[in-house]
């Protein structure tokens, strides 16, 4: 394996994209699985794996992750829900990392959300906390630190993560602590991508791409793969899919030394 490929995919708990019925579109986890298998990447990093339940109930074992793990034969997996919270809205939650090589030293870090008030279905709400997960694996004889995150979309609450930057700062602290090859993929939910790219560059991390839109609702680049200086981007592709309201981002990497 001279190079390796990484998939970044917010799978929106298997809900397909239907422009006419974006909220009530059906769930088709078979399509999600087929899309993941289609690209046969070495690493698969997912967000919104599960559908949040009323009252913040978290089904254990997580049903979508359980199906994914059974279907992705030959992959090792790690999954975590965010902190259980009765305020959870009926969208996607839960992060997963799959790897063709064994995962070890898994961890999770809660990312507190600022108490920004917003209205949802006529009621005043405040956002739930988010999550960063991580694991190590060995690729081509070299250890690689993997991170996966899904930050709060402050831009949807008439605010921004520049104003409320605690989650981003906590993530950067973890990036700075990583030694050797490392990469982070996720749905960063930052509409001003330049501020995110500059912040991560200060920590030594570069994105595989910043220009191709990855979200169907607005022309934003929300999904990214950032890598440490120990890795080089060989190629990337943004793959439109009907399996989610996010496109799939694939990065191919080689070791710089």
pLDDT in tens, the chain (257 residues): 699 999 999 999 999 998 877 778 899 999 999 999 999 999 999 999 999 999 999 999 999 999 999 999 999 999 999 999 999 988 999 999 999 999 999 999 999 998 888 887 787 888 899 999 999 999 999 999 999 999 998 888 887 788 889 999 999 999 999 999 999 999 999 998 899 999 999 999 999 999 999 999 999 999 999 999 999 999 999 999 999 999 999 999 999 97
Site of tokens 């001279």: 2
Cα–Cα distance for residue pair 91/88, rounded to 1 Å: 8
Structure confidence at residue 1 (pLDDT)? 60
H/E segment holding residue 251: strand 248-255
Q: 33-54 burial, b for 16+ CB within 10 Å, e for fewer?
A: bebbeeeebbbbbbbbbbbbee
Cα–Cα distance for residue pair 180/142, rounded to 1 Å: 9
Domain architecture of the chain: domains with CATH: 4-255 (3.60.10.10)
The DSSP symbol for 172 reads: H
Structure confidence at residue 10 (pLDDT)? 98
- Confirm if 208 and 233 have CB atoms less than 8 A apart: yes
């Amino acid at each position: 394996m001279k190079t390796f490929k990484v998939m970044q995919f917010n799978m929106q708990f298997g809900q397909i994209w239907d422009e006419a019925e974006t909220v009530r579109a059906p769930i088709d986890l078979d399509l999600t699985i087929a899309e993941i298998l289609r690209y046969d990447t070495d690493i698969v990093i997912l967000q919104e794996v599960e559908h949040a339940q009323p009252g913040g109930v978290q089904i254990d074992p997580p049903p979508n992750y359980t199906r994914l793990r059974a279907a992705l034969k030959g992959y090792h997996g790690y999954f975590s829900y965010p902190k259980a919270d009765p305020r959870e809205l009926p969208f996607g939650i839960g992060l997963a990392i799959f790897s063709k090589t064994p995962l070890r030293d898994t961890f999770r870090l809660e990312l507190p959300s600022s108490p920004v008030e917003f209205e949802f279905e006529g009621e005043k709400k405040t956002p739930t906390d988010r999550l960063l997960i991580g694991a190590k694996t060995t690729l081509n004889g070299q250890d690689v630190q993997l991170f996966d995150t899904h930050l709060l979309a402050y831009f949807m609450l008439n605010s921004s993560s520049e104003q409320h930057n605690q989650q981003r700062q906590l993530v950067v602290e973890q990036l700075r602590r990583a030694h050797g090859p490392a990469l982070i993929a996720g749905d960063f939910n930052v509409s001003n991508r330049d501020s995110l790219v500059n912040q991560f560059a200060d920590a030594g991390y570069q994105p595989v791409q910043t220009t191709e839109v990855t979200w169907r609702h607005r022309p934003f680049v929300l999904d990214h793969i950032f890598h440490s200086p120990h890795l080089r981007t060989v190629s990337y592709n943004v793959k439109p899919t009907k399996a989610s309201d996010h496109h799939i981002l694939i990065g191919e990497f080689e070791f710089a030394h």
